[in-house]
Structure 1
Amino acid sequence: MLKKCQNRNSKWRKWFSIGPQNVCRQCAESIRGLIKLHELSRPKKLLVFINPQSGSKTGEKIYRRKVAPLFSLCEIQTKVIVTQTENHSKDVLRETDLSDYDGIVCVGGDGTLSEIANGYLQRCYRDGHIDWDNPETVLPRPRLPIGVIPTGSGDTIVRFMNETRSVTTATIHIILGRTRGIDFGSVHNRHKLLSYTCLLIGYGLYGRLIEAIEIRRWLPGRIRYSVIPMIELLNVRSFDVKVQMLKPVIEKESQEGNTSHGNRDPEKTRIQPDTKWEWSNQYEGPLLGVDSFIVHLMPVGNSMRPYMGNGLAQVTLVKNCSRISHLSHLIKLMDRSPGFYDYDFIEEHNVKGYRVEAFPKSQGRRIPEMYLMNCDGDLIKLEEPCFEVRVHKELIKLFTWIDEDWPEWVETKSETLSR
């Protein structure tokens, strides 16, 4: 027989055996049988990239002390590569034979994940002769899932996926082999791919912020990500843009009961497999920024819950406003507090794609924000102030515990931007 006991010095419950030896043997065989049922989904060999410069620069130490022993205990083979320069992981992925691997692991932050995801996607599409520069191309999903061991400054994607920045928790999810697909956006400029992104595409203010932060990398992370944005916010300027959006043409479903989420009362419409899409001229005029979140943040109680698999980008158009109001909006956004969209100068849209074109000649002077983009924390400088974004549903699988169905719905508002 097996008897359960509770050890007060540990949060784990322990089991020990008593009774006839043959009964214990049968129980052990049953447990081994259950484990074998899940063997096919558990990784046996992993390609690990460690970014030694990420966050507090402790990635190698954390991997050796907390991650490698667990992989070894579970008999997972690893090939570990410590990146030496920017885009080192891209170079490795471009040349490495990936057929023997069951997954890729990045030890770092959101920027490390972005670099590895971009390198892996481009490697797969190069081998498959797929035109990744064309925004209309339907991108196939690569085979290998990616795991993230959080050692960065923000680790946003890990907090969204695992609801914790625990290194041990992230490692266990990789070992168990459970995965979930997340959306990626492709960013194009004049039919040329600039980047793939899974979190944020910021144009205008966010582009200026990331440039200022990159210039001052010698400052501690907390100062760079808290003080510098406040300084740059005082100098932000608007510029004239034209925004087109790819929206669904769907019939509204009747909703029963209360659909309010916190202080919002959205009108929901459901996306069907045969949904048709059309481009529309959404706005033309001055804006402070055009930002999109591939991860949706929706109000649930007193917090915002992330959704990462509905195939849409959450686009916000930021109009002219006072610095105090803008700061209030940014603080709520950073804290993931409900109501950060409920401002008169914020317009929210959920779209499958969008196009942005700025007009330098109408400004009378060069505005740096028109040529700067923030893609998952990476600075991209545009040769021309225009770009196009497309969202690809569940393009890459990540190792995570999430198993519920993310809702396939898009919120629409009766309000539209006035010119």
Structure 2
Amino acid sequence: MKTEKGEQEEPDSVLLRGIFKLGKISHDVLLTSNSVSWTPITPDNPTGERGSERGSDRVWLRDVFAVKVKRRRAAGQQTGGVVLGLCLFCSRRTGNTLQEVKVHLLNTSLSLCHTWVTHLKQLLTGNAHTHKQSVPRQLKVFINPGSHKKQSVLIYREHIAPLFRMADIHTDITITERKGHILSLVKECSLTQYDGVVCVGGDGTVAELAHALVLRAQLDSQRDPDSDLNPVQATLPLGIIPAGSTDIVSCSVHGVRHPITAALHIILGHLQQVDMCSFFSLGRLVTFGFSAMFGFGGRSLALAEKKRWMPPPQRRDYALAKTMASLRPEECQLSFLPANQTHMSGKCRGKKLVSPVSSDQSNAVHGVFLSISIMAIPSLSPHAPRGLAPNTRLTNGSAELITVGNASRSEFIKHLKRYNSQDEQSCLSFVETRSVTAVKLRPHGMVSCPGEGEEEATPSDQSESSFPWNIDGELVEMAHEVVVRVHPRLISLYGDEVEKVDSPTVSCSCI
């Protein structure tokens, strides 16, 4: 594995040196505290002519997650065997994707191989602390058996569990039985023996576990979640093995829907602190989450939940089409605290979306909206490679508030299509994007959408009705005013911050 472009190893002393074969060619192999490097040994040419030269190569120890002695064993033999050399198990990055690769260093000397393995394991243990990583040794794993066409258990057992075993990570696995099962277990069981928690499932599973971890941190700190507006950070990091239909949170920290990539981030201890939001209604905490949609996103999800008997893709497409056919805006009173920054982006560079203001100044808007989104993460997915909220980041302490005004159906479709393109939402006159730290939304009711030639909805006092919210892909019904606050770095996720999903572009399924 070649060194990354522009990356150079800091001067370091050689700890071990030996001759190993890579393939059929002998190499001079060097071990330092940062890497293993090898150079082919080229014999002198008696004629004086230069033979074909092979370049040196290197693997960085920060990308190595296991080292084993390589042996030849007879069929059925479990232990012992003839020593062949040693094998390094490494991670190689291509774009956002991580793949497992193996480097075979062949030498039949048992003492030499054991010496190298001992030194390498010591370095790998210390390397995690040197690079401020958190390499786990004990993990609690929750698997949603209904995710990914009910293949999530198989995905874990065939692709993820072998990697965890190779990295000497011990796991305690729970297969969930119902919605809310994770929350009840995390609130009650002891978590002190674990270095991290992993979920195998879609955005709903991720949302439930993330909320449970943050809520558990408040309870352990003897804080009242309903009254404390400054929650403490979750103590355990969360790893996400994607097994859903969109996997928005996973894509936002991995840049790709790839279970092996997610597992390798966990194994190597790559941690990314992430902002979360708290959602309050009537002075009580409803949930912690990463993103929320009100209006079109909430009503389409509510309709999809009524068709649970349908397969997920068909259910989603049906709900989107039906909600689009009866497109109606919601009348709302919207207040927000702008973040102290200005966004300049894309073709509309220079257009001020939010003027810098002090954090104690609030803005209020009363109007009708087709959609309101509040997102503390970019919300990347194959349907929106740049994200539903491309101007925010995982850990900038603010959320992106996107309001879509009362537009025609064709204009709203144009807005949706832009999530799958490079065009800026801010260039549409009926779309406003603001960077905020808090939002208060008071819904009043659904109003008619002019110019569509359909029957008008009768405005009514819906104070006693519930309004559907889509919070991290989960339907939450709330009848009253909702207050959303952004909390910086509230949870740590295994992964890296990415700019764009590197999977093939997928058309929006509602168009």
TM-score tier, shorter chain, comes to: 0.7 to 0.9
- Is 1:151 aligned to 2:240, yes or no? no
- Is 1:169 aligned to 2:261, yes or no? yes
Which residue type is aligned with residue 178 of structure 1?
Answer: H
Contact 1:319 1:345 in 2 (8 A): yes
Deviation of 1:99 (Å): 0.7
Q: Find the aligned partners of 1:65 and 1:185 in 2 and give their Cα distance.
A: 35
Q: Find the aligned partners of 1:341 and 1:271 in 2 and give their Cα distance.
A: 15
Deviation of 1:345 (Å): 0.9
Contact 1:354 1:389 in 2 (8 A): yes
The match for 1:289 is 371
Deviation of 1:343 (Å): 1.1
| Correspondent of 1:114 among 204, 207, 212 | 207
The match for 1:264 is 348
Q: Find the aligned partners of 1:163 and 1:248 in 2 and give their Cα distance.
A: 26
Q: Find the aligned partners of 1:37 and 1:115 in 2 and give their Cα distance.
A: 34
The match for 1:211 is 302
Q: Aligned runs of 1:187-226 on 2, under 5 Å? A: 187-198=279-290, 200-226=291-317
Q: Aligned runs of 1:20-169 on 2, under 5 Å? A: 27-39=116-128, 41-134=134-227, 137-169=229-261
Deviation of 1:358 (Å): 2.3
In structure 2, relative to structure 1, the CA distance for the partners of 1:188 and 1:218 (3 Å cut) is: same
Which residue type is aligned with residue 373 of structure 1?
Answer: W
- 1:24-53 per-position Cα deviation (integer Å, ceiling 9, x unaligned): 666545433321213552111111101011
Q: Find the aligned partners of 2:437 and 2:109 in 1 and give their Cα distance.
A: 62
Larger CA Rg, structure 1 vs 2: 2
The match for 1:327 is 413
- 1:289-340 per-position Cα deviation (integer Å, ceiling 9, x unaligned): 3211221379xxx96265211111100111111101101212322x364323
- 1:2-28 per-position Cα deviation (integer Å, ceiling 9, x unaligned): 465599xx9946342469988766654
Contact 2:293 2:372 in 1 (8 A): yes
Q: Find the aligned partners of 1:336 and 1:4 in 2 and give their Cα distance.
A: 46
Q: Aligned runs of 1:274-285 on 2, under 5 Å? A: 276-285=358-367
RMSD of Structure 2 on Structure 1 (CA): 3.3
The match for 1:349 is 434
Deviation of 1:378 (Å): 1.0
Contact 1:55 1:221 in 2 (8 A): no
- Runs of 5+ in structure 1 lacking a partner? 253-258, 405-419
The match for 1:311 is 397
Deviation of 1:243 (Å): 1.1
Which residue type is aligned with residue 288 of structure 1?
Answer: L
Contact 2:213 2:236 in 1 (8 A): no
Q: Find the aligned partners of 1:261 and 1:348 in 2 and give their Cα distance.
A: 11
Which residue type is aligned with residue 338 of structure 1?
Answer: D
How many residues are matched?
Answer: 386
Q: Which has the larger share of helix? A: 1
- Is 1:398 aligned to 2:511, yes or no? no
Q: Find the aligned partners of 1:147 and 1:310 in 2 and give their Cα distance.
A: 21
Q: Find the aligned partners of 2:247 and 2:498 in 1 and give their Cα distance.
A: 21
Q: Find the aligned partners of 1:270 and 1:358 in 2 and give their Cα distance.
A: 23
Q: Find the aligned partners of 1:47 and 1:12 in 2 and give their Cα distance.
A: 26
Deviation of 1:104 (Å): 0.4
Contact 2:214 2:490 in 1 (8 A): no
Identity %: 27
Deviation of 1:361 (Å): 11
Q: Aligned runs of 1:403-418 on 2, under 5 Å? A: none
Greater relative contact order, per chain length (Cα 8 Å cut-off, separation 6+): 1
- Is 1:231 aligned to 2:322, yes or no? yes
In structure 2, relative to structure 1, the CA distance for the partners of 1:271 and 1:403 (3 Å cut) is: farther
In structure 2, relative to structure 1, the CA distance for the partners of 1:271 and 1:364 (3 Å cut) is: closer
SS of 1:228's partner is helix
Deviates more, 1:41-50 or 1:260-269: 260-269
Q: Find the aligned partners of 1:207 and 1:52 in 2 and give their Cα distance.
A: 25
Q: Find the aligned partners of 1:223 and 1:383 in 2 and give their Cα distance.
A: 29
The match for 2:277 is 185
In structure 2, relative to structure 1, the CA distance for the partners of 1:266 and 1:195 (3 Å cut) is: farther
